[in-house]
């Protein structure tokens, strides 16, 4: 029984450390109504960022190298931000991403 408790404490501790190391991303797309979708891509993982009024957020992501892809509504074009580095436990603000008219 003591061994089971020790295993449960160990597993819980590992998950708690993992949660503390998760990070988040934030960006603002300008003009505010120009983005159709915003994606965060890391390797084979692709996650749609949620947003309103041009503000896009993604919480509880793994640290590492990410790529952000903004799909613009017509008449705006698409834009990709490569090599976005996210460190463990950080709240990364990418600043504004301005979409150009095509």
Classified as helix, coil or strand, 88 is: coil
| 46 torsion bin: left (phi>0), alpha (psi -120 to 50), beta (else) | beta
- What are the structural domain ranges in the chain? 23-98
Give the Cα separation of 79 and 7 in Å (integer): 47
pLDDT tens digits in sequence order for the chain, 102 residues long: 656 555 556 555 444 444 457 899 999 999 999 999 999 999 999 999 999 999 999 998 999 999 999 999 999 999 999 989 999 999 999 999 999 999
Give the Cα separation of 21 and 40 in Å (integer): 18
Residues 6+ apart with CB under 8 A from 98: 29, 30
pLDDT (0 to 100) of residue 83? 87
Q: Which CATH class is domain 23-98?
A: mainly beta
């Amino acid at each position: 029984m003591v061994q089971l408790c020790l295993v449960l404490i160990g597993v819980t501790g590992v998950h708690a450390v993992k949660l503390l190391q998760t990070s988040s991303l934030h960006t603002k797309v300008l003009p505010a109504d120009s983005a159709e979708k915003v994606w965060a891509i890391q390797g084979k993982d692709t996650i749609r960022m949620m947003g309103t009024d041009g503000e896009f957020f993604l919480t509880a992501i793994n640290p590492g190298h990410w790529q952000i892809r903004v799909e613009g509504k017509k008449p705006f074009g698409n834009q990709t931000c490569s090599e976005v580095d996210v460190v463990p436990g950080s709240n990364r603000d990418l600043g504004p991403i301005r979409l150009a008219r095509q």
